[in-house]
A and B are shown apart, each in its own frame.
Chain A
Amino acid sequence: MAAVARVKVRRPGTGRVIGDRFVGRALRIYLPLLVMLVVTLFPFYWMAITSFKSASELFDFSVSPLWVREPTLDWYRHLFTQTNFPRWAFNTAIVAIASTLISLFCSILAGYSLARLRYRGADTIGWGIFVTYLVPPTLLFLPLTFVIRELHLFNNLWALILTYPTFLIPFCTWMLMGFFKGIPRELEEAALVDGATRIQAMVRIAIPLALPGILAAALFAFTLSWNEFLYALIFMNDSLVKTIPVGVTQELIHGDEFFWGELMAAALLGSVPVAVLYSFFVDYFVAGMTAGAVKG
């Protein structure tokens, strides 16, 4: 929308208008988009093709590997009948949604507090929250295991729901601090002068204005939880409480033989539906915000 508006606003006589409509626009937008799409999607095309190939066709490069000659749905069928894939997808969704909500709740409040309120120690705390990222999870998981044991959360989805926020909150908080800072202070101060409380100003003015940031933070949090591997591997034991990344690798890789068709089928099923869901969210925040709450 914005681009169309922009073209209309541009005054005749500033030049390049005609070129801009066709060649210019193609070169400026469509060509780079096409290149990006091809590079981004090729691995997915390859996964999709792989997931429809029989085991023997998979290793046959004598003819073009880019197409499938005898498509088979065996891998998908196997995935749904022989493994707990639907259950893993369900677990993954539950964990991702719950930990995203917890993280958003915490980081909206914390981000607002650190960005907007003035009190002793705010800088130090903000800094401290981020510094925790510097200890890599490849080792952090060992002492964390001890905490999970003390809380009796092994083999319980709560272990993931509660630990994922540790790597989500710091980033979301900082991201939202940035957004809250971008909102003109005067808007809230006007509300305060009108008799609103701080909390009211936050809920009614700051949070709606920071919505694109909140949605972006939600996307990150959801995606990171959706993909998380190490904690899910360590804390979950039974097949019924596994998440997609852990369940799929554990039950579809046998010793030194990989079952590519099934692995790739699982990879696609584990990502494409979420991507479709995302596209609606992304559209929502892009469209919603260009409508221009900020203008007011």
Chain B
Amino acid sequence: MGTAVRAKTAPAWHRRRVRIYDREAPLGYLLLAPTLVVLGIFLLYPFLFGIWLSVTDSELGNLGSFIGLDNFRFEWRNTDGVFYTAVVNTFLYTGITTVFKLSLGLIMALLLNQAFPFRRFVRAALLLPYIIPTVLSYEAWRWMFDPTFSVINWLLVNTHLAPYPGPNWLGVPFNAMAALMIVNVWRGTPFYAIAFLAGMQVIPVDLYEAARVDGATRWQQFTNITVPMLRPVLLVVLLLSTILTFADFQGPFVLTNGAPYNSTQLLSIWAYQWGIPGGAISLGAAISLVLFPLLTLVVAGVLFLLRRPE
């Protein structure tokens, strides 16, 4: 779209653009080639196969035949409400954790961008939750939440912040959802922080200097320079994190596996339960693809936002 605007206002540019445009196509495709080859081999087939599965009656080990949207209809009509619980929980889980991860990650990046003693140590330390193998950290959290051995509750009780025996973290629906979110935020925040920190490095220092000369406060510098300049990074990180959180399986699976009585059920776990232990792979695929159209729109929207300021 940048081209179009320029074409109207500056014919000279236009001509030059067209020339470069012609020359750029082969190079553009050439540079894309390695990516397309890797993704084509290892992703395209599984991706299309996954979509195809969702409109068949396949079971594990038996390729079924096309049945249209019956799998989606089956879940849609599911009257016991587990599916809807899963949809609502998935949105809550993604939405709430994203707000926290985004704001905490931004704060963390701003802090890490300052000079202070032991900065190297502090940076490494704050990155740790993101580095530790997920399965192991989730097991550790599960143990910290275990009512019998909850060191969190031990602290709460011994500092008189909560009456004995402390909250039942994973056994009460509300607490269990909160526990899932706490762990996700703990793990996900450094991801945002690293990305923002990197983004801050490419903001030209002159911008801040100029703003300071103009007497801009720190807050004004933040809202008028840092945030707009971070926008491309922010959008990509936000998008990726949203999608990954939507599909997050490992953490919730280790921590609650949907218990107590499906109150922490998420689409990813529900899809897994039908698809793998239940063998109804087509239904599992349908459940995990049920939000595909919506997410596609979100991706398209963010892509649009990302491209606009050229």
Contact = CB atoms under 8 A, between A and B. Distances in A.
Contact of A46 (B25, B151, B199, B208): B151
B67 interface: no
A265 to B, nearest CB: 10
A146 B52 CA distance: 15
Given A40-B186, A182-B232, A117 B295 contact: no
A253 to B, nearest CB: 8
Nearest to A105: B34
B233 A198 contact: no
A209 interface: yes
A284 B246 CA distance: 33
**Contact size range, A:** 35 or more
Most A C-beta atoms less than 10 A away, residue of B21, B34, B155, B296: B34
A120 B25 contact: yes
Contact of A169 (B38, B115, B205): B38
B271 A136 contact: yes
A40 B131 contact: no
Contacts of B209: 9
Most B C-beta atoms less than 10 A away, residue of A173, A198, A275, A295: A275
A249 B206 CA distance: 51
A133 B42 CA distance: 13
Contacts of B123: 278-279, 282-283
A220 B194 contact: yes
A290 B190 CA distance: 21
B144 interface: yes
Contact of B303 (A47, A130, A199, A210): A130
Interface string B194-207: 11011101111110
B5 interface: no
Grouping DSSP codes into helix (H, G, I), strand (E, B) and loop, the A interface class, with mixed when no group exceeds half, is helix
B249 A138 contact: yes
Given A3-B115, A36-B111, A46-B144, A178 B306 contact: yes
A166 B46 CA distance: 11
Given A33-B111, A131-B299, A245-B133, A140 B50 contact: yes
A3 B154 contact: no
Interface in A229-271: 229-230, 244-245, 248-249, 258, 260, 263-264, 266-267, 270-271
Grouping DSSP codes into helix (H, G, I), strand (E, B) and loop, the B interface class, with mixed when no group exceeds half, is helix
A138 B247 contact: yes
Interface residues of B, number: 118
B285 interface: yes
Most A C-beta atoms less than 10 A away, residue of B46, B119, B276, B303: B46
B212 A220 contact: no
A246 B27 CA distance: 41
B120 A283 contact: yes
Most A C-beta atoms less than 10 A away, residue of B107, B116, B136, B250: B136
Interface stretch (B72-80, B169-177, B236-244): B236-244
Contact of A37 (B122, B158, B306): B122
B236 to A, nearest CB: 5
B84 interface: no
A127 B303 contact: yes
A248 B133 contact: yes
Given A66-B154, A118-B28, A181-B232, 5 more contacts: A113-B29, A117-B31, A122-B28, A131-B296, A210-B202
9 contacts: A29-B111, A61-B149, A135-B46, A138-B276, A169-B35, A174-B240, A178-B236, A245-B135, A267-B140
